[in-house]
Every structure is written in C-alpha cells, then in structure tokens.
Amino acid sequence: MAYTNGNGQSHDDEMDLLDLDGLVLRGRGKLEGLEFSSDPKIEHAVVAILESIGEEPAREGLLKTPSRVAKMYAELTAGYRIDPEALINDAIFNVEYQEMVLVKDIDFSSLCEHHMLPFLGKVHVAYIPNNRVVGLSKLPRIVDMFARRLQVQERMTVQIADFIDEHLHPLGVAVVAEGVHMCGVMRGVKKANAKMVTSAMRGVFRDDPKTRAELMGHINRPSYGD
C-alpha cells in the first residue's frame, strides 16, 4: 500500500516509520500533511451498509462515500500506528524542577468502541516532575495517541496517566477528561447536555488532598483569554 504527500509524491508502506513533526506513525496515513489511503475492505463494508439501510450506492452523492469513509477511519484510528517510544524519548529533559506542570484544555476527539460514534471534549494533564520534564508539545500528542482509537473515556484517561507515569517516573500524575458522547446525544437517552468527567490520579495527586485540590483549582480557573 502507499500514501501520497501534499506534493503528490508516492511512498510505500515498506517505510517502517514516518516521522511527522514528532508524531511517529507505522504504515500509511494522513496526519499533518499526509493523505490516508482507502482500504478496500472498509469500502466494501460501507457499500453493504448503504444497501442494507435502503440507499443506492451508485447514485451521484454516494459514489465516493465508501472511499471517504475508509480514509476517515484511517485518520480517526491513527493512534494504533503511532510508535509510543519514538513519540516521547527524544523530548525528555533533566531539569531541577519539582513543582506542578499542567497543560489544560487539550482538545480531543475519539470513537466510542460500542457504537463507533464520536465523543469529544477536553483533557487536562498534570504531573509533578522528579527532575525530569517532557517537551510541551508531547502532552497533547500523547492524548492524541490514545484518543485516535476505538475507546471508552475511562480507559483513555487511565492510559494517558499510566503512559506519563511509566516514561517520566514523576512524583505524581493527574489526568482529568471531560467529554460529550454522541451515542448519548444522537441515540439512546438523547441528552445533549450530559457530559462525562473521568480522572486518573497517580502518586502525590492521589495521596495528598492539598495537591489534588491545587490541581482542581487550576483546572476550574478561567483560562487566559476567556
């Protein structure tokens, strides 16, 4: 299989890793300037779905729908093809710092594994370094790595926290996610304003109520420009 870049140049999937501004993918795909290939298996499945719901796949408006859907799923599940070690290992630095680091309001979107409908919202990631810090851009990329998969919000929150804990060995890690789930908005209970909040606390964030309260105060404080 192959992918094309913005200049129309073709590349084979035999390239083991694609380094995209620090986000490393295995295989084909569009992320930050790359275009995803369409998987024929997904295209055929989409045609079957269209026929099953009473549509005509050959009509003008649907002719390219199977290809578009296949490329969309390749993009929305790109997290499976990210090499986590290459993502973070070149951006860990030794710094004499043991105070809270918080990146809040990280936008995310994912697909619920139960209905394959989107859920989206914001993630707040905090850690207290043990004299090791990670580059600022890596925290949103870590969120993307786990969000761009078939997910449930609870597991995604834990995966982000555990990944940071494992690679930085900080004094504490905290991840708080707030999401709106289309499976509860568009179908089922149909509650458009219902929001799920999940959290994962490690180290001092779990053990020290004052540190946890400080974190929540930062999260609840209006962001710059609000």
Give the 3-state secondary structure of residue 118: strand
124 within 8 A of 103, measured Cβ to Cβ? yes
β-sheet bridge partners, residue 124: 176
Q: Is the pLDDT of residue 152 over 60?
A: yes
Check whether 38 has a pLDDT greater than 90. Answer: no
Looking at residue 30, what is its pLDDT?
30
In a domain, 23, yes or no: yes
Structure confidence at residue 157 as a pLDDT band (50, 70, 90): very high
Instruction: Please identify, among 32, 53, 81, the residue that sits at the C-terminal boundary of a domain.
Output: 81
pLDDT for the residue 36: 76
Contacts with 57 (C-beta within 8 Å, 6 or more apart), sequence order: 47, 50, 51, 63, 65, 66
Domain total in the chain:
2
Looking at residues 215-221, what average pLDDT do you find? 95
Indicate the pLDDT class of residue 4, thresholds 50, 70 and 90: very low
Report if residue 73 sits inside a domain.
yes
Quickly tell me which residue has 């009509």 as its tokens. Answer: 59
Q: What is the pLDDT of residue 209?
A: 97
In a domain, 156, yes or no: yes
Instruction: Kindly state the tokens that stand for 141.
Output: 């990329």
98 or 3: which leads in pLDDT: 98
How far is 73 from 117, CA to CA, in rounded Å? 11
Share of the chain above pLDDT 90, in %: 74
Average pLDDT over the chain reads 86
Taking the C-alpha atoms of residue 226 and residue 220, their distance in angstroms, rounded to an integer, is 12
On whether both 119 and 192 belong to a single domain, the answer is: yes
83-87, 118-122, 142-146: the lowest-pLDDT one = 83-87
Whose CA is closest to 109, among 95, 121, 125?
A: 121
Residue among 170, 172, 146 at smallest CA distance from 160 = 146
91: its two tokens: 């951006």
Task: Look up the CATH number of the domain holding residue 202.
Answer: 3.30.1130.10
126: pLDDT strictly greater than 90: yes
pLDDT of 151 over the 90 cut: yes
DSSP 15-55: SSEEEETTEEEESS--SSSEEPPPPHHHHHHHHHHHHHTT-
Kindly state whether residues 215 and 116 are assigned to the same domain: yes
Average pLDDT over residues 183-212: 95
Residue 89 predicted with pLDDT over 90? no
Q: What confidence category does residue 32 fall into, taking pLDDT thresholds of 50, 70 and 90?
A: low
Which active-site residues does the annotation give?
112-115, 153, 181, 183
> Is 33's pLDDT higher than 90?
no
Domain extent at residue 27: 2-81
d(CA 191, CA 183): 10
Phi-psi region of 116 (alpha: psi -120 to 50; beta: other; left: phi over 0): left
Instruction: Please give the average per-residue pLDDT across 124-132, as a whole number.
Output: 97
* Cα angle value 84/147/34 (rounded, 5°): 70
**Residue 151: is it exposed, middle or buried by C-beta count within 10 angstroms (0-12/13-18/19+)?**
buried
Average pLDDT over residues 200-212: 98
Could you say which of 24, 56, 81 is where a domain stops? 81
Examine the domain organization and report whether 73 and 114 are in the same domain: no
| Beta pairing, strands 150-151 & 101-112 | parallel
